[in-house]
Amino acid sequence: MVVLITGANGQLGQALFSIERNYPSIDFVFCNSKELDITNKENCKQVFEKHNPSFCINAAAYTAVDKAETEPDKAFEINANGAENIAEICKTYNTILLHISTDFVFDAYYSKSTAYYDKELRLPLKSNLGLTETDVPFPSGIYGLTKLQGEQVVQHLWKKHFIIRTSWLYSEFGTNFMKTMLRLATERDTLSVVNDQIGTPTYAVDLAEALITIMLFCTSRNDWDNFYGIYNFSNEGQCSWYDFAKEIFNEKDIKINLHSIPTTSYSTPAKRPQYSVLDKTKIKEVFALNIQNWKRSLQDCLQKV
Ligand SMILES: NC(=O)c1ccc[n+]([C@@H]2O[C@H](COP(=O)([O-])OP(=O)(O)OC[C@H]3O[C@@H](n4cnc5c(N)ncnc54)[C@H](OP(=O)(O)O)[C@@H]3O)[C@@H](O)[C@H]2O)c1
Protein backbone atom coordinates (compact mmCIF):
# COMPACT_ATOMS: atom_id res chain seq x y z
CA MET A 1 0.00 0.00 0.00
CA VAL A 2 1.76 3.13 -1.26
CA VAL A 3 0.35 6.48 -0.12
CA LEU A 4 1.60 9.61 -1.85
CA ILE A 5 1.17 12.89 0.00
CA THR A 6 1.28 16.24 -1.79
CA GLY A 7 2.04 19.46 0.10
CA ALA A 8 4.06 17.42 2.61
CA ASN A 9 5.60 20.50 4.24
CA GLY A 10 2.22 21.91 5.22
CA GLN A 11 0.48 21.36 8.55
CA LEU A 12 -1.44 18.28 7.46
CA GLY A 13 1.57 16.85 5.62
CA GLN A 14 3.72 17.19 8.74
CA ALA A 15 0.94 15.74 10.91
CA LEU A 16 0.87 12.66 8.65
CA PHE A 17 4.66 12.45 8.82
CA SER A 18 4.52 12.55 12.64
CA ILE A 19 2.38 9.38 12.80
CA GLU A 20 3.73 7.38 9.85
CA ARG A 21 5.86 5.15 12.09
CA ASN A 22 2.63 3.82 13.68
CA TYR A 23 1.66 2.28 10.33
CA PRO A 24 4.53 0.06 9.17
CA SER A 25 2.29 -1.67 6.60
CA ILE A 26 1.92 1.60 4.69
CA ASP A 27 4.65 2.92 2.42
CA PHE A 28 4.31 6.72 2.69
CA VAL A 29 5.83 8.93 0.00
CA PHE A 30 5.99 12.54 1.19
CA CYS A 31 6.36 15.13 -1.57
CA ASN A 32 6.86 18.79 -0.80
CA SER A 33 6.06 21.50 -3.34
CA LYS A 34 9.54 21.30 -4.89
CA GLU A 35 9.40 17.53 -5.34
CA LEU A 36 5.83 17.62 -6.67
CA ASP A 37 4.29 20.83 -7.97
CA ILE A 38 0.63 19.97 -8.45
CA THR A 39 0.24 22.75 -11.03
CA ASN A 40 2.81 21.03 -13.26
CA LYS A 41 1.26 18.11 -15.18
CA GLU A 42 4.59 16.70 -16.35
CA ASN A 43 5.93 16.73 -12.79
CA CYS A 44 2.78 14.92 -11.56
CA LYS A 45 3.28 12.30 -14.26
CA GLN A 46 6.94 11.69 -13.36
CA VAL A 47 6.20 11.28 -9.65
CA PHE A 48 3.22 8.95 -10.20
CA GLU A 49 5.23 6.95 -12.73
CA LYS A 50 7.98 6.46 -10.17
CA HIS A 51 5.79 5.52 -7.17
CA ASN A 52 2.56 4.18 -8.70
CA PRO A 53 0.60 4.99 -5.50
CA SER A 54 -2.55 3.16 -4.45
CA PHE A 55 -3.72 6.31 -2.62
CA CYS A 56 -2.94 10.00 -2.97
CA ILE A 57 -3.67 12.51 -0.21
CA ASN A 58 -3.83 15.93 -1.81
CA ALA A 59 -2.80 18.13 1.11
CA ALA A 60 -1.29 20.76 -1.19
CA ALA A 61 -3.24 23.99 -1.30
CA TYR A 62 -3.11 27.74 -1.44
CA THR A 63 -4.34 28.55 2.08
CA ALA A 64 -3.66 32.29 2.49
CA VAL A 65 -7.34 33.21 2.88
CA ASP A 66 -6.91 37.01 2.90
CA LYS A 67 -4.07 37.19 0.37
CA ALA A 68 -6.21 35.18 -2.07
CA GLU A 69 -8.43 38.25 -2.46
CA THR A 70 -5.57 40.09 -4.17
CA GLU A 71 -4.01 37.12 -6.01
CA PRO A 72 -7.01 35.08 -7.16
CA ASP A 73 -5.15 33.66 -10.17
CA LYS A 74 -2.54 32.02 -7.95
CA ALA A 75 -5.21 30.61 -5.62
CA PHE A 76 -7.14 29.29 -8.61
CA GLU A 77 -4.00 27.81 -10.21
CA ILE A 78 -3.21 25.73 -7.10
CA ASN A 79 -6.64 24.97 -5.62
CA ALA A 80 -8.57 24.36 -8.83
CA ASN A 81 -6.07 23.62 -11.64
CA GLY A 82 -3.77 21.74 -9.25
CA ALA A 83 -6.70 19.62 -8.04
CA GLU A 84 -7.62 18.94 -11.67
CA ASN A 85 -4.09 17.71 -12.46
CA ILE A 86 -4.11 15.47 -9.41
CA ALA A 87 -7.54 14.03 -10.26
CA GLU A 88 -6.42 13.34 -13.84
CA ILE A 89 -3.19 11.65 -12.85
CA CYS A 90 -5.02 9.59 -10.19
CA LYS A 91 -7.40 8.41 -12.90
CA THR A 92 -4.49 7.45 -15.16
CA TYR A 93 -2.85 5.40 -12.40
CA ASN A 94 -6.12 4.14 -10.84
CA THR A 95 -5.11 5.83 -7.57
CA ILE A 96 -7.77 6.51 -4.93
CA LEU A 97 -7.74 10.25 -4.20
CA LEU A 98 -8.28 11.78 -0.77
CA HIS A 99 -8.70 15.45 -1.54
CA ILE A 100 -8.79 17.91 1.37
CA SER A 101 -11.28 20.76 1.32
CA THR A 102 -12.67 23.33 3.69
CA ASP A 103 -15.61 24.72 5.66
CA PHE A 104 -14.92 27.99 3.79
CA VAL A 105 -16.99 26.64 0.91
CA PHE A 106 -19.91 27.78 3.10
CA ASP A 107 -21.18 31.21 3.90
CA ALA A 108 -23.64 31.45 6.78
CA TYR A 109 -25.32 34.48 5.29
CA TYR A 110 -26.44 32.72 2.18
CA SER A 111 -26.37 28.94 2.47
CA LYS A 112 -28.85 26.68 4.20
CA SER A 113 -26.85 27.13 7.39
CA THR A 114 -28.68 30.37 8.25
CA ALA A 115 -31.70 28.21 8.97
CA TYR A 116 -29.60 26.11 11.34
CA TYR A 117 -28.06 28.75 13.52
CA ASP A 118 -29.48 30.78 16.39
CA LYS A 119 -27.45 34.00 16.36
CA GLU A 120 -28.59 35.01 19.85
CA LEU A 121 -27.76 31.71 21.54
CA ARG A 122 -24.75 30.98 19.28
CA LEU A 123 -26.04 27.43 18.97
CA PRO A 124 -27.35 25.27 16.16
CA LEU A 125 -31.12 25.27 16.03
CA LYS A 126 -33.12 22.18 17.01
CA SER A 127 -31.09 19.04 17.31
CA ASN A 128 -29.03 19.34 14.15
CA LEU A 129 -25.31 18.84 14.36
CA GLY A 130 -24.14 21.37 11.81
CA LEU A 131 -23.65 21.61 8.07
CA THR A 132 -24.02 18.35 6.21
CA GLU A 133 -22.25 17.20 3.06
CA THR A 134 -25.39 17.89 1.04
CA ASP A 135 -25.91 21.48 2.20
CA VAL A 136 -25.46 23.92 -0.65
CA PRO A 137 -22.04 25.56 -0.60
CA PHE A 138 -21.77 29.27 -1.33
CA PRO A 139 -18.28 30.59 -0.67
CA SER A 140 -17.88 34.22 0.29
CA GLY A 141 -14.22 34.65 -0.64
CA ILE A 142 -11.72 33.71 -3.33
CA TYR A 143 -10.08 31.00 -1.23
CA GLY A 144 -13.40 29.23 -0.59
CA LEU A 145 -14.42 29.66 -4.21
CA THR A 146 -11.21 28.11 -5.56
CA LYS A 147 -11.48 25.24 -3.05
CA LEU A 148 -15.05 24.61 -4.20
CA GLN A 149 -13.84 24.61 -7.82
CA GLY A 150 -11.21 22.06 -6.77
CA GLU A 151 -13.92 19.83 -5.26
CA GLN A 152 -15.98 20.10 -8.42
CA VAL A 153 -13.18 19.12 -10.81
CA VAL A 154 -12.30 16.15 -8.61
CA GLN A 155 -15.95 15.01 -8.59
CA HIS A 156 -16.22 15.50 -12.33
CA LEU A 157 -12.97 13.83 -13.36
CA TRP A 158 -12.36 10.86 -11.11
CA LYS A 159 -14.98 8.79 -9.34
CA LYS A 160 -12.54 7.14 -6.92
CA HIS A 161 -12.34 10.10 -4.59
CA PHE A 162 -12.98 11.05 -1.01
CA ILE A 163 -13.33 14.81 -0.54
CA ILE A 164 -12.75 15.58 3.12
CA ARG A 165 -13.97 18.98 4.26
CA THR A 166 -12.33 20.16 7.44
CA SER A 167 -12.28 23.35 9.51
CA TRP A 168 -10.04 25.57 11.65
CA LEU A 169 -6.97 23.34 11.29
CA TYR A 170 -4.22 23.75 13.86
CA SER A 171 -1.26 21.74 15.12
CA GLU A 172 2.23 22.01 16.52
CA PHE A 173 3.38 22.45 12.90
CA GLY A 174 3.40 25.46 10.57
CA THR A 175 1.40 28.61 11.16
CA ASN A 176 -2.07 28.50 12.65
CA PHE A 177 -4.41 30.26 15.09
CA MET A 178 -3.19 28.37 18.17
CA LYS A 179 0.45 29.19 17.48
CA THR A 180 -0.40 32.80 16.66
CA MET A 181 -2.22 33.16 20.01
CA LEU A 182 0.76 31.69 21.89
CA ARG A 183 3.13 34.06 20.10
CA LEU A 184 0.93 37.13 20.65
CA ALA A 185 0.69 36.29 24.35
CA THR A 186 4.48 36.77 24.60
CA GLU A 187 4.24 40.16 22.87
CA ARG A 188 1.10 41.77 24.32
CA ASP A 189 -0.86 42.19 27.56
CA THR A 190 -4.23 42.50 25.86
CA LEU A 191 -5.84 40.68 22.96
CA SER A 192 -9.19 41.08 21.20
CA VAL A 193 -10.66 38.05 19.46
CA VAL A 194 -13.83 37.62 17.41
CA ASN A 195 -16.70 36.00 19.30
CA ASP A 196 -19.43 35.71 16.67
CA GLN A 197 -17.90 33.31 14.16
CA ILE A 198 -18.76 29.77 15.23
CA GLY A 199 -17.00 26.63 14.07
CA THR A 200 -14.91 23.73 15.31
CA PRO A 201 -11.13 23.56 15.66
CA THR A 202 -9.54 20.49 14.11
CA TYR A 203 -6.24 19.06 15.33
CA ALA A 204 -4.32 18.14 12.16
CA VAL A 205 -3.03 14.91 13.75
CA ASP A 206 -6.65 13.78 14.35
CA LEU A 207 -7.41 14.52 10.70
CA ALA A 208 -4.29 12.59 9.65
CA GLU A 209 -5.46 9.58 11.71
CA ALA A 210 -8.93 9.81 10.15
CA LEU A 211 -7.44 9.78 6.63
CA ILE A 212 -5.46 6.65 7.46
CA THR A 213 -8.61 5.01 8.88
CA ILE A 214 -10.38 5.71 5.58
CA MET A 215 -7.54 4.16 3.54
CA LEU A 216 -7.34 1.09 5.77
CA PHE A 217 -11.11 0.73 5.46
CA CYS A 218 -10.75 0.70 1.68
CA THR A 219 -8.08 -1.98 1.75
CA SER A 220 -10.02 -4.18 4.18
CA ARG A 221 -13.22 -4.42 2.12
CA ASN A 222 -14.17 -5.00 -1.46
CA ASP A 223 -17.29 -2.83 -1.49
CA TRP A 224 -15.59 0.53 -0.86
CA ASP A 225 -16.69 1.69 -4.34
CA ASN A 226 -20.04 2.43 -2.68
CA PHE A 227 -18.56 4.98 -0.32
CA TYR A 228 -16.79 7.56 -2.47
CA GLY A 229 -17.93 11.17 -2.09
CA ILE A 230 -17.77 14.15 0.24
CA TYR A 231 -17.21 13.74 4.01
CA ASN A 232 -16.96 16.26 6.83
CA PHE A 233 -14.26 15.96 9.44
CA SER A 234 -13.47 18.22 12.40
CA ASN A 235 -13.18 17.62 16.11
CA GLU A 236 -16.42 17.41 18.09
CA GLY A 237 -18.13 20.39 19.68
CA GLN A 238 -18.18 24.01 18.65
CA CYS A 239 -16.83 27.36 19.76
CA SER A 240 -15.99 30.88 18.64
CA TRP A 241 -12.44 32.06 17.93
CA TYR A 242 -12.66 33.86 21.29
CA ASP A 243 -13.60 30.59 23.08
CA PHE A 244 -10.73 28.86 21.28
CA ALA A 245 -8.23 31.53 22.38
CA LYS A 246 -9.57 31.42 25.97
CA GLU A 247 -9.11 27.67 26.12
CA ILE A 248 -5.53 27.92 24.80
CA PHE A 249 -4.61 30.46 27.47
CA ASN A 250 -6.40 28.54 30.24
CA GLU A 251 -4.65 25.30 29.33
CA LYS A 252 -1.26 26.99 29.22
CA ASP A 253 -2.02 29.02 32.34
CA ILE A 254 -1.23 32.23 30.47
CA LYS A 255 -2.49 35.44 32.07
CA ILE A 256 -3.67 37.92 29.45
CA ASN A 257 -6.53 40.41 29.10
CA LEU A 258 -8.69 38.72 26.51
CA HIS A 259 -11.57 40.71 25.02
CA SER A 260 -14.35 39.38 22.84
CA ILE A 261 -15.25 41.52 19.84
CA PRO A 262 -17.74 41.20 16.98
CA THR A 263 -16.62 40.50 13.42
CA THR A 264 -17.62 44.06 12.55
CA SER A 265 -14.75 45.31 14.76
CA TYR A 266 -12.14 43.14 13.06
CA SER A 267 -12.02 43.81 9.39
CA THR A 268 -10.27 41.33 7.08
CA PRO A 269 -9.96 41.34 3.27
CA ALA A 270 -11.84 38.01 3.03
CA LYS A 271 -15.21 37.49 4.68
CA ARG A 272 -15.39 34.39 6.92
CA PRO A 273 -18.39 32.08 7.38
CA GLN A 274 -20.27 33.12 10.50
CA TYR A 275 -21.27 29.54 11.22
CA SER A 276 -19.39 26.56 9.82
CA VAL A 277 -19.80 23.71 12.29
CA LEU A 278 -19.58 20.49 10.28
CA ASP A 279 -21.92 17.55 10.90
CA LYS A 280 -19.73 14.41 11.19
CA THR A 281 -22.53 11.82 11.25
CA LYS A 282 -21.63 10.41 7.83
CA ILE A 283 -17.89 9.92 8.36
CA LYS A 284 -18.48 8.44 11.84
CA GLU A 285 -21.06 5.95 10.60
CA VAL A 286 -19.28 4.84 7.42
CA PHE A 287 -15.76 4.49 8.83
CA ALA A 288 -16.64 3.74 12.48
CA LEU A 289 -14.62 6.76 13.57
CA ASN A 290 -14.46 8.01 17.14
CA ILE A 291 -13.84 11.73 17.14
CA GLN A 292 -12.47 13.62 20.15
CA ASN A 293 -13.95 16.84 21.49
CA TRP A 294 -11.91 19.87 20.39
CA LYS A 295 -10.90 20.74 23.97
CA ARG A 296 -9.38 17.30 24.55
CA SER A 297 -7.45 17.42 21.27
CA LEU A 298 -6.23 20.91 22.07
CA GLN A 299 -4.78 19.54 25.32
CA ASP A 300 -2.98 16.81 23.33
CA CYS A 301 -1.53 19.37 20.96
CA LEU A 302 -0.53 21.89 23.62
CA GLN A 303 1.54 19.22 25.33
CA LYS A 304 3.76 19.21 22.25
CA VAL A 305 4.48 22.93 22.02
N1 LIG B 1 -5.39 25.65 7.62
C2 LIG B 1 -6.70 25.62 7.88
O3 LIG B 1 -7.19 26.25 8.83
C4 LIG B 1 -7.60 24.78 7.01
C5 LIG B 1 -8.96 24.74 7.32
C6 LIG B 1 -9.80 23.95 6.52
C7 LIG B 1 -9.28 23.25 5.47
N8 LIG B 1 -7.94 23.32 5.19
C9 LIG B 1 -7.44 22.56 4.06
O10 LIG B 1 -6.62 21.53 4.57
C11 LIG B 1 -5.57 21.24 3.66
C12 LIG B 1 -4.24 21.28 4.36
O13 LIG B 1 -4.09 22.58 4.92
P14 LIG B 1 -2.77 23.00 5.70
O15 LIG B 1 -3.20 23.86 6.83
O16 LIG B 1 -1.94 21.80 5.95
O17 LIG B 1 -2.10 23.93 4.62
P18 LIG B 1 -0.64 24.56 4.63
O19 LIG B 1 0.00 24.38 5.95
O20 LIG B 1 -0.78 25.94 4.08
O21 LIG B 1 0.13 23.64 3.60
C22 LIG B 1 -0.15 23.66 2.24
C23 LIG B 1 1.04 23.09 1.54
O24 LIG B 1 0.73 23.09 0.14
C25 LIG B 1 1.95 23.34 -0.52
N26 LIG B 1 1.73 23.84 -1.87
C27 LIG B 1 1.35 25.08 -2.27
N28 LIG B 1 1.32 25.13 -3.60
C29 LIG B 1 1.70 23.92 -4.06
C30 LIG B 1 1.87 23.35 -5.34
N31 LIG B 1 1.65 24.08 -6.46
N32 LIG B 1 2.27 22.07 -5.44
C33 LIG B 1 2.49 21.33 -4.32
N34 LIG B 1 2.37 21.81 -3.08
C35 LIG B 1 1.97 23.09 -2.95
C36 LIG B 1 2.66 24.37 0.33
O37 LIG B 1 4.03 24.29 0.04
P38 LIG B 1 4.99 25.57 0.16
O39 LIG B 1 5.00 25.90 1.61
O40 LIG B 1 6.29 25.09 -0.36
O41 LIG B 1 4.34 26.63 -0.67
C42 LIG B 1 2.33 23.90 1.73
O43 LIG B 1 3.34 23.08 2.25
C44 LIG B 1 -5.74 22.22 2.51
O45 LIG B 1 -6.45 21.62 1.47
C46 LIG B 1 -6.57 23.33 3.11
O47 LIG B 1 -7.32 24.00 2.12
C48 LIG B 1 -7.10 24.06 5.95
CA of 102 relative to ligand 1 center, distance in Å: 11
- Could you say which of 116, 143, 203, 231 is catalytic? 143
Active-site residue, 23 included: no
Per-residue pLDDT of the chain (305 residues; tens, 9 = 90+): 999 999 999 999 999 999 999 999 999 999 999 999 999 999 999 999 999 999 999 999 999 999 999 999 999 999 999 999 999 999 999 999 999 999 999 875 544 445 555 555 555 554 457 888 988 888 889 999 999 999 999 999 999 999 999 999 999 999 999 999 999 999 999 999 999 888 999 999 999 999 999 999 999 988 888 899 999 999 999 999 999 999 999 999 999 999 999 999 999 999 898 888 999 999 999 999 999 999 999 999 999 99
- Helix, coil or strand: residue 200: coil
Q: Side chain identity at 87, as an amino acid letter?
A: A
275 DSSP 8-state letter: B
For the CA atoms of 61, 67, 71, 72, the dihedral, rounded to the nearest 10 degrees, stands at 60
- Nearest C-alpha to atom 24 of ligand 1 is from which residue? 60
pLDDT reported for residue 188: 96
- d(C-alpha 83, C-alpha 242), whole Å: 33
Beta bridge partners of 287: none
pLDDT reported for residue 103: 95
